[in-house]
Amino acid sequence: MGYEVVMMGASAGGMDALKTLLSGLEEDFHLPIVIAQHISAHSDNYLITYLNSHSSLFVKEAEEKETLKSGCVYVCPPNYHLLIEEDKTLSLATFEKVNFSRPSIDVLFETGALSLKKAAIGVLLTGASHDGAYGMGMIHAFGGMTVVQDPETAYVANMPEAAIKSTPVDYVLALDDIAPFLNTLSRAQLKG
């Protein structure tokens, strides 16, 4: 069984990190991407517009009960948690903040790990909190792949450092190396 989803989490500095990462993905990148980016509860859709302008993939706001589709990028809407269900659909929730955040990266990563197990990839990027560290541990525990941005290339190193200290991480990569790495995985899976 191959990989079925790439989950990404980012906080402070995440907009630029996501732009760099998504702009480096090839047009035929086939895995769905689901993103939890810490944003204000009152944000408009600027993040979607911004990422769409820098990516050959289609970037959209995630919707309730939406089925994950190949080559599509789903961004969590402001003031919601984003969950991946066992039937590979997305759910939005408004329960209490986790790690002072809604959306919480841990919520996305944990539900993706529980639903997709070995088929999940987690990518944790720049950020000032420790959100995502627990979720990376869950992805690892269920046999998925964990990728963390090298803290030296992060706008704020706290989040990647917290993950590296708290859980076994498969790959620690400079920001510019993450997209080429994911492209290689995607190409190998398409050939296989």
Ramachandran angles phi, psi of 10, nearest 5°: -150, 155
pLDDT band at 41 (very low <50, low <70, confident <90, very high): low
91: annotated active-site residue:
no
Q: What is the pLDDT of residue 100?
A: 79
The CATH number given to whatever domain includes residue 76 is 3.40.50.180
* Alpha-carbon span 22 to 91, nearest angstrom: 23
DSSP string computed for 51-109? HHTT-SSEEEE--TTPBP-TTEEEEPPTT-EEEE-TTSBEEEE-PPPBTTBSS-HHHHH
Give per-residue pLDDT as tens, 96-147.
887 777 889 999 999 999 999 999 999 999 999 899 999 999 999 999 999 9
Check whether 11 has a pLDDT greater than 90: yes
Quick check: is 11 catalytic?
A: yes
Which of 104, 131, 140, 186 is the catalytic position?
A: 131
In the annotation, is 56 catalytic? no
Tell me how many domains the chain contains: 1
The domain in which residue 137 lies consists of: 5-191
**pLDDT score at 88:** 92
Choosing from 38, 81, 130, 140, the catalytic residue is 38
